[in-house]
Structure formats: structure tokens, C-alpha cells
Structure 1
Amino acid sequence: EWVPLAQFSTGSENHYGCFLIDLEDLAAKQFDRMRSVTRFFK
């Protein structure tokens, strides 16, 4: 299961960014496996 570590504004009203990490990677402190994702509003 992927969980967000942080969400951040991109300066746009249409989308925002977030950092996601798998729960197992978080428990193992493997932050190098984190992903940056852009999410769009409808």
C-alpha cells in the first residue's frame, strides 16, 4: 500500500505534487524508493 509522505503546491490551480512511499519501504526506512507524483484536479 502506498501512502503520501508530503503534498505540495505547484503554483497551479489544476494540479499538485506529492511524495508517495510503500508502507514496507517506510518501515524499512528505504526513502530512496519514494516516488514523486503529480495529481490533477478534475
Structure 2
Amino acid sequence: MTSGPTSDQASSPIFFLLSLPFMSLLVSVESFISFDFNGQI
């Protein structure tokens, strides 16, 4: 029972660090897509 929250706490920062570049890429791609749509319209 004790190793449950401990492993969750340990994987949380790792998941956050891994998701940071992915979220940044997602935001840039979404802004690029919206800019492309605005350019076409």
C-alpha cells in the first residue's frame, strides 16, 4: 500500500517532463493549422 503513492509521486514529474515538449509541439501545430486555415480563407 505504501509503494502505490510513492511510485505515483516518482512517475508524476517524469510524465510532466515528457509531456512538456509534446504539449509545446501540439500548441505550435495547432497554431500553424489555424494560421493555414486563416490564410486559405
The structure showing larger relative contact order (alpha-carbon pairs under 8 Å, at least 6 residues apart) is 1
Instruction: Establish whether TM, by shorter chain, passes 0.5.
Output: no
Structure holding more strand per residue: 1
TM-score by length of 1: 0.19
> Larger Cα Rg: Structure 1 or Structure 2?
2
Structure holding more helix per residue: 2
